[in-house]
Structure 1
């Protein structure tokens, strides 16, 4: 399914659980440096757009565009691989948790590099699915899903535009409900509203989803989840593969 069709299907309640986490935002905004004009690629509903800069957003899904707040940055229809702007139109181009949906991530990154003097992309290195207990113990299908959706390694993506990769720890009380956000709050994954706003669950399908939820509920009730994951219960933040690609 294309990104447009995917988010026109699952995006209706996106803003209920997906929002800007201020600690992650601070990392992104610091990486933008002194950029005054910023293009947000695959902008969705506008999370992480810096409020103190001149931002233009581009997003392929009409449903996602329709959920942008009234006073958010202007948003146009379009995709990362074909940005309708001239060379170095912007001081910076940013993209947050979107690159894994692009048809050609390297082409999209090169387009961002073409239209902006600085590129900042927040993504996940999912090359080791066992890094996150949910994938390891309940969603082994994540590995196959990743193989279908990711066309290049994180290092290949960085090399394509001469970028560096900086790790980003995920706080235990992260305010943005992406797939890994509830790593210390496992009960959240039992909430269908949380799952509906994460594309992974759509990707694995309803049968796998219900099996995983049933197993997690059982392990939480029995105490097995705590036994398996006791080492993370006192952590304030976790390294789960989040990376800032900065060029």
Structure 2
């Protein structure tokens, strides 16, 4: 399933749990600097689009485009790898939690660099020492996630492609945006079907892996094994789970 098709399938679940997390949004918007015109690539329903700038959105999924709220920025049906804009058309281009869905992430980032003076990308460190091992859900319950990222460019390769620096992005314990890592201190949330349906990972790993992970997590929560294994998380207000902001 191509990722455009994937979001045509799962996109309807987004409104229930996928909202702008203001603390992460503040970091993204600060990285945009003084940019007045912003291109949002892989824009989805419009989360994280800065309200005080002139935004143009790009989104290939018709389902996601249809869910953009009234008054949202104008949205173009196009892909990151072939942006229909002239060189340096925008002060900045941003992409939030979308690069891992692009068929050719390097080409997409270079296109963003072509059409904008500044590039800001929210993504994650897929390395063994990064996202895979830091987050208990992928480490202990869903090892199939490793198969999803096999062969993809590393976060360092992405940064090098556009000459970007990397900033860590901490996830608050009560994160309002229900992306994959959001419930790191609220594990019971992953038992809820509506939470999982709005995260592409669960669809990509398939129903057997999903059910096995959910059953094991439910058992570990009931027995206290999850709490024992992850007791260092209980006192944290925010976690560093390998999420990164690339700024070029």
User: TM tier, shorter chain?
Assistant: over 0.9
Match status 1:81 vs 2:81 = yes
- Unaligned residue ranges in structure 2 (runs of 5+): none
Pick aligned residue for 1:143 from 128, 141, 146: 146
1:116-169 Cα deviation digits (max 9, x unpaired) = 000000001121212100011100111112215xx2111111011111011111
Q: Following the alignment from structure 2 to structure 1, what is the Cα–Cα distance between the partners of residues 123 and 66?
A: 24
Partner of 2:169: 168
Partner of 1:31: 31
Match status 1:180 vs 2:181 = yes
Kindly report the root-mean-square deviation, in angstroms, between the aligned alpha carbons of the 2 structures. Answer: 0.7
Q: Following the alignment from structure 2 to structure 1, what is the Cα–Cα distance between the partners of residues 26 and 97?
A: 15
Q: Which moved more, 1:7-16 or 1:25-34?
A: 7-16
Question: 1:25-104 maps to which residues of 2 (within 5 A)?
Answer: 25-104=25-104
Partner of 1:14: 14
1:44-82 Cα deviation digits (max 9, x unpaired) = 000000000000000000000000110111111000000
Q: Following the alignment from structure 2 to structure 1, what is the Cα–Cα distance between the partners of residues 10 and 173?
A: 25
Q: Secondary structure at the match of 1:188?
A: helix
Q: Following the alignment from structure 2 to structure 1, what is the Cα–Cα distance between the partners of residues 244 and 44?
A: 19
TM-score by length of 2: 0.98
Q: Following the alignment from structure 2 to structure 1, what is the Cα–Cα distance between the partners of residues 126 and 171?
A: 14
Match status 1:134 vs 2:137 = yes
Residues paired across the two proteins, number: 245
Q: Following the alignment from structure 1 to structure 2, what is the Cα–Cα distance between the partners of residues 49 and 241?
A: 22
Q: Following the alignment from structure 2 to structure 1, what is the Cα–Cα distance between the partners of residues 126 and 154?
A: 9
- Unaligned residue ranges in structure 1 (runs of 5+): none
TM-score by length of 1: 0.98
Moved segments of 4+, more than 6 Å:
none
